[in-house]
Amino acid sequence: MGNIFESDKVNSIFKDERFLYPEFVPECLPFRDEQISELVFCLKPATLGKKPTNVFVFGKPGTGKTVTLKFVLNELVEFSDRAKCVYINCFEFSTKQAILSKLTNTMGYAVPDRGVGFEEVFSKFVSVLRTSKVVPVIVFDEAEQLLKDEQRKSLLYDLSRLPEQQKLPIALVFISNDNFFLSRLDDRIKSSLSASSIPFEQYSPLELKGILSERVKYAFFDFSLDSDVIPLCAAHAAKNGGDARIAVDVLLKSARFAERENSKRVLPRHVRAVFMQEKPVKVEITDNLSEQEERILNLLDKSSAFDIDSGFIYSTLEKEYSERTLRNAISELEKKGLISLDKIIKGRGFTRIIKLKKS
């Protein structure tokens, strides 16, 4: 009896499926030239040993924020040995101590796992920067997690003050799905950061087709895809927020369906099989709500016994947020499919009844 992983499959559709993996960083990033140029402008001083401009990169999931940053950082370290790039995912490194240890280790000083206090590690980090000839470019992905507790906020404050207090060139780059991240920072931190904001807009269906076509060149053998496959994958992703990761993921799974059937090509029915197999992918929505969005959802959940209108939201939260900020947060929640809005007549005008969508 043979091994259960043995296969009789003959047809090979993939040339190299790694080009469809989420962590893959392409050598060419279509439709992001403007953002790349802005990032280069902000970070180029690091190649001269000078202080770069701090950056805030924001946009919805799947708009190319992280992959664009990684692409630019790869180019930066290839161009100059004066820059040292540190990428930190704030979900993975979720405490003040973990983040600082990661920074210090990357800069060349090994920090023990236990027995060393924050002040000592921070002092070592500053000492390493003083003796180093490189400029650290620190990227915080999922940056909104930095605001979840006072400890991480204090670290952010300490880092933002290094150029002024210690005369050390350092760049801080923040990636977030929360458009309001900068506005939620303490005024002292905002003043020290003076960050340049770079928005990433949703991809259009045409752009999604272009992204898939570029990946297909390297991932598949010639003539391995039916002509309708890329448009189908792109249309599906466009309906789910213009998320390029959804488009690429659907294409990868469709091709695996085709190989499982020993098909010579990926066909539209393979794509539709992926649609039927799983619910539309909503990437990181619940983990990436802004503070305002979380407050509104909690308010709706607690008040589920009666109808809530937008006026009630504004009056309840007016001491914490402006009406404009809350109005934008409500619109974002509707786009994410977490609430429904019904416009009704109230007095001489209109108001919106807001309800949680039941999953």
What residue spans define the domains of the chain? 33-200, 203-277, 291-356
CATH architecture of the domain formed by 203-277: Orthogonal Bundle (1.10)
Question: What are the φ and ψ backbone dihedral angles of 164, each rounded to 5 degrees?
Answer: -80, -45
Under DSSP, the state recorded for 169 is: -
Residue 317: predicted pLDDT: 84
Amino acid at 105: N
CA 123/CA 129 separation, integer angstroms = 10
Instruction: Give, for all 359 residues of the chain, the pLDDT tens digit.
Output: 667 666 665 568 999 999 999 889 999 899 999 999 999 999 999 999 999 999 999 998 899 999 999 999 999 999 999 999 999 999 889 889 999 999 999 998 888 766 788 899 999 999 999 998 899 999 999 999 898 889 999 999 999 999 999 999 999 999 998 888 998 898 989 999 999 999 999 999 999 999 999 999 999 999 999 999 999 999 999 988 899 999 999 999 999 999 988 999 999 999 999 988 765 444 444 556 788 888 888 888 776 556 688 888 888 888 778 888 888 888 888 877 788 888 776 665 667 788 887 65
> Scanning the structure block, which residue is given the tokens 């180019």?
75
Domain 33-200, CATH: 3.40.50.300
Residues in CB range of 137: below 8 A, 6 or more apart: 43, 46, 52, 73, 76, 83, 84, 85, 86, 171, 173
CA 173/CA 55 separation, integer angstroms = 5
Tell me the whole-structure pTM to 2 decimals.
Answer: 0.76
SS (H, E, C) 192-253: HHCCEEEEECCCCHHHHHHHHHHHHHHHECCCCECCCHHHHHHHHHHHCCCCHHHHHHHHHH
CA 57/CA 48 separation, integer angstroms = 23
Token couple for 13: 């559709």
Right CATH for 291-356 from 3.40.50.300, 2.40.37.10, 3.50.50.60, 1.10.10.10: 1.10.10.10
Q: Which of 121, 119, 115, 91 is nearest to 103 (CA)?
A: 121
CA 297/CA 276 separation, integer angstroms = 30
Under DSSP, the state recorded for 14 is: B
Residue 358: predicted pLDDT: 61
Residues in CB range of 143: below 8 A, 6 or more apart: 56, 90, 174, 175, 176, 178, 181
